[in-house]
Structure 1
Amino acid sequence: MKKFAATAAIVTALGLTLAGCGDPSGADAGSSAPAEWAAQTADLSGVELTFWAAQSSVAVPEEVAATFEKATGAKVTIEVIPDSYEANVQTRVATGAKPDLAFWQPTPSMLTAINAKSNLLSLEGAPWIETMEPDLQDLTGILDDTRYATLIGSPSVIGVYYNKDVFAANGITELPQNFDDVLADAAVIDAAGVDPFFEMAGDGWGTQWFPQMLMADDAKAGFWDEVNAGTKTFSSPEMLDSITEYNDLITEGLFNADIKTATFNDQGTALLAGDAAMVVQNNVYLTQLQALATTDELNNKIGFFPVSRQGTVATSIPDQSNAIVAFNTGDAERESAARQFMSFWMGEGYPTFVASTNAVSIVTGVENSPEVPQLALDIHASQADIAPSMQAAAVANPDLWLNLVDMINGVKTPEDVAKATQSQFAELAKAAGVAGF
């Protein structure tokens, strides 16, 4: 597996709008000194913990939290933060509200966005790290040499979910080996009266996956390092051509007719029903599909393949449902309990978590859920040849998706999208004092 190394000095410098907003009162907030870790089932009677989750991930911690409560006497309240999850979490934290634990995207840019050094507890010395698959131990969750987040499952990947029946009905018996193959299959499917692709511009955030998928080969070759250094921009051919091709495919009618208003939930039902052949998404979509269909149904109906312009390079985007963080609340008892909950989740509670979520295990010695669908195994296997997403490797994450939604609604051209996104990226970098901006 490939590791994506953003320049630590640059990433650390990016305080974004939250810099200085956190409460640094916790003695070990931002410290790399190993914390003391309580026994996984130590008594926590009377201790109450709050866990923030997105609407798409709220069910993920339920079973392991219930098991933890029974084992320790603690109470864990799971609170749903409305979408856009990341923006709303940052807003709440900036105003002083903090949970004890939360799902959070474990990339350097998003750890910086939450001002990890002040707001999050260090996870240095976490007892479960060495039990994880070796390639995943240091893949993400680390900022400026300090661990602030832990993966709980297989990291999210951008790729193509496809309806097997639609492919078979159109004589497609081999998976695409590059994007030209995808386009050839799309033409056949379109001629048969089925939407080749389904997009969700009504919610919007998923629009950024398609262009990033197209430029996976460039990302693997170091495109985001060059953007970080200021030698390339979002208007460079690698990104602009991807945005333009995405727009062209939409204009050609290869997406759903209701693309402007369709939502994330619509994507799941459309693919399962065979109303569309392909959806470009990340692992949050897998969670949605698992909520809508049984494992047998998914195995029969839905598959997954990674693709890039030139080959089958996948795109890595560890998302908020892949990792958890613990907050510096200033309450030593709750902070210790939050660490204990994480230790329990990745230790004694991990088999429960894997079984209850039908997940792929990343802990050595814990078997995959017998109900894990084959497409989940295929997604996990795709990480053998992977490129970093903007979220994983860029030093700041501008609102590419908002600009793409504007493009889909006819407000911006592809050139406008690239220019606006680069302008915001440069502003963020300049505000943080990054050289070259």
Structure 2
Amino acid sequence: MKKLMMTTATLVAAGLLVAGCSDPGAGTSAGSGEPATWPEATASLEGVQLTFWAAQASNTIPEGVIDAFEAATGAEVELVTIPDPYENGIQTKVATGDKPDLAFWQPTSSMLTAINAANNLQVLDDAPWIEDMDPALQDLTGILNGTRYAALVTSPSVQGVYYNKKVFADAGITELPTSFDDMVAKARVIKETTGVTPFFEEGNTGWSTQWWPQVLLADAAADGFYDDLNANKASFTDDVVVDAITTFKDLIDEGLFNSDIVTATFEDQGDALLNGDAAMAVQINALFGQLQAKADTATLDETIGFFPISPSGNVATSHPDQSNAVVAFKTGDAAREAAARQFLTFWMTEYYPTFIEEQNTVSLFTSIESPASVPQALRDVHASLSDSVGSMQAQAVANPDLWMNVVDVINGVKTPEQAAEATQQQFVELAKASGIDGF
């Protein structure tokens, strides 16, 4: 039932959002036909009220900037937490005309398409801070059909491998894996020599199970798989996808994963990695955020490392998530729209050095150094973006529930072939609902 509800919500939202086929306000202020302006970061906004939507996982991130912005400008910003599933909830609200001024949003092609960015989001092409960002990040994400709709506020998430340095040392492993097969070979060594569980996965909510087949698709992604998928020339039923899901299932069957994979939680995963009860976890930055809440930087630097992985090497899969970027909505109110742009300017200029200190995170700007307290693993994650490939969410025009189907494989409900077929069917449905050519 949960799967049906999520899929239906996505399809309903996509259908309603696509219904408006014209876009008179693209790149303009409140549809006036005039180019959007970017007010000074601290200009007075007395009497202006803004609403900011965030997920349960991201609702603490903007608290500092909101307080500082209110003090500097006189504006009022209401922070509203949207219950999970966050993205589906927002799409349904927006489809009925309920819009915030600002919101966290996954800045990928699939999710910008899903929210019908051209009709619903302000254009951020001329944002005054973009040229000061690290050139490798300026156009990495947040852009759909050549137009920028999302402001990157933190380093984009990456699918890669977090590992326990002490477990590796105990197993006599002195060099990091140089390919997926090498990682598996080292996992077997770890199990044989230390008895520690090589890989830990959480199948309780299961959203992270999809990272395994996705990192196995990194080479195919680099070769244009998602471009072909978007053109309806490739399919999730192709051998490369079925083989990726099958490989994941085979490693589970081999006993290289935690025995409680079906019931283990995201919290369990972090604890197991930090405590040395597991050697590795394929995850995104959210896992490290959890670890930062459990241990200080010195402990993390001593215990936890990161390496990117792909079938043939060490290529990361970039996966910008909703906590990495903010969008500003078209509300039809010129004053509020300008104030929303001013809020983004304030965040990314005046307040940014304070923000990265608060979040203990990597700087997006070459002219602003990352805090000394940022753990090395997080710096390594950020460095892997320079030659990364995009994830399914980043490159595909629609975002099917691959993870749900992979969970079904783990639970023995589907075969890898059936999981791939279900993913493809939903992808086609979503692409059609979004009006993508060729479907």
Same fold (TM over 0.5): yes
SS in 2 for 1:125: coil
| Cα distance change, pair 15–93 in 1 and its aligned pair in 2 (3 A) | closer
Query: Which residue is equivalent to 2:69?
Result: 68
Query: 1:17 deviation in Å?
Result: 5.4
SS in 1 for 2:54: strand
User: Is 2:374 the counterpart of 1:375?
Assistant: no
Query: 1:266 deviation in Å?
Result: 2.2
The 5-angstrom pairing of residues 81-96 of structure 1 reads 81-96=82-97
Would the aligned equivalents of 1:30 and 1:146 in 2 still touch at CA under 8 Å? no
Q: Please list the CA deviations of residues 202-250 of structure 1 after superposition, one character each: whole Å capped at 9, or x if unmatched.
A: 1121111111011211111111112222222112121111000011112
Query: Which residue is equivalent to 1:106?
Result: 107
Query: 1:25 deviation in Å?
Result: 9.0
SS in 2 for 1:51: strand
Q: Please list the CA deviations of residues 249-270 of structure 1 after superposition, one character each: whole Å capped at 9, or x if unmatched.
A: 1222222222222222222222
Would the aligned equivalents of 2:328 and 2:340 in 1 still touch at CA under 8 Å? yes
Mapped to 1, the partners of 2:368 and 2:414 lie a distance apart of: 49
Would the aligned equivalents of 2:30 and 2:333 in 1 still touch at CA under 8 Å? no
The 5-angstrom pairing of residues 134-149 of structure 1 reads 134-149=135-150
Would the aligned equivalents of 2:113 and 2:397 in 1 still touch at CA under 8 Å? no
Query: Which residue is equivalent to 1:20?
Result: 19
Query: Which residue is equivalent to 1:399?
Result: 401
| Cα distance change, pair 322–340 in 1 and its aligned pair in 2 (3 A) | same
| Cα distance change, pair 422–29 in 1 and its aligned pair in 2 (3 A) | farther
User: Is 2:166 the counterpart of 1:169?
Assistant: no
Would the aligned equivalents of 1:40 and 1:343 in 2 still touch at CA under 8 Å? yes
Aligned-pair identity (%)? 61
Would the aligned equivalents of 2:14 and 2:91 in 1 still touch at CA under 8 Å? no
Query: Which residue is equivalent to 2:7?
Result: none
Question: Could you tell which deviates more after superposition, 366-375 or 255-264?
Answer: 255-264
Q: Please list the CA deviations of residues 358-385 of structure 1 after superposition, one character each: whole Å capped at 9, or x if unmatched.
A: 1111123111011111011111111232
Query: Which residue is equivalent to 1:46?
Result: 47
| Cα distance change, pair 252–134 in 1 and its aligned pair in 2 (3 A) | same
SS in 2 for 1:46: coil
The 5-angstrom pairing of residues 4-403 of structure 1 reads 18-20=17-19, 28=29, 34-191=35-192, 192-403=194-405
Query: Which residue is equivalent to 1:4?
Result: none
Q: Please list the CA deviations of residues 257-309 of structure 1 after superposition, one character each: whole Å capped at 9, or x if unmatched.
A: 22222222222222111121111111222222222221111111111000111
| Cα distance change, pair 203–34 in 1 and its aligned pair in 2 (3 A) | farther
Mapped to 1, the partners of 2:373 and 2:365 lie a distance apart of: 17
Would the aligned equivalents of 1:104 and 1:321 in 2 still touch at CA under 8 Å? yes
Q: How many residues align?
A: 424
SS in 2 for 1:166: helix
Q: Please list the CA deviations of residues 342-363 of structure 1 after superposition, one character each: whole Å capped at 9, or x if unmatched.
A: 0001101100111101111112
SS in 1 for 2:323: coil
Would the aligned equivalents of 1:160 and 1:307 in 2 still touch at CA under 8 Å? yes
Would the aligned equivalents of 2:44 and 2:73 in 1 still touch at CA under 8 Å? yes
Query: 1:28 deviation in Å?
Result: 3.8
Mapped to 2, the partners of 1:28 and 1:60 lie a distance apart of: 27
SS in 1 for 2:322: coil
Would the aligned equivalents of 1:29 and 1:122 in 2 still touch at CA under 8 Å? no
Would the aligned equivalents of 1:33 and 1:124 in 2 still touch at CA under 8 Å? no
Query: 1:182 deviation in Å?
Result: 0.8
Mapped to 2, the partners of 1:34 and 1:375 lie a distance apart of: 42
Mapped to 2, the partners of 1:305 and 1:326 lie a distance apart of: 34
SS in 2 for 1:321: helix
Query: 1:31 deviation in Å?
Result: 9.2
SS in 2 for 1:277: strand
Mapped to 1, the partners of 2:237 and 2:249 lie a distance apart of: 15
Would the aligned equivalents of 1:403 and 1:412 in 2 still touch at CA under 8 Å? yes
| Cα distance change, pair 433–320 in 1 and its aligned pair in 2 (3 A) | closer
After TM superposition, the score normalised by the length of structure 1 is 0.91
Mapped to 1, the partners of 2:317 and 2:31 lie a distance apart of: 30
| Cα distance change, pair 208–361 in 1 and its aligned pair in 2 (3 A) | same
| Cα distance change, pair 193–234 in 1 and its aligned pair in 2 (3 A) | same
After TM superposition, the score normalised by the length of structure 2 is 0.91
| Cα distance change, pair 221–164 in 1 and its aligned pair in 2 (3 A) | same
| Cα distance change, pair 31–123 in 1 and its aligned pair in 2 (3 A) | farther
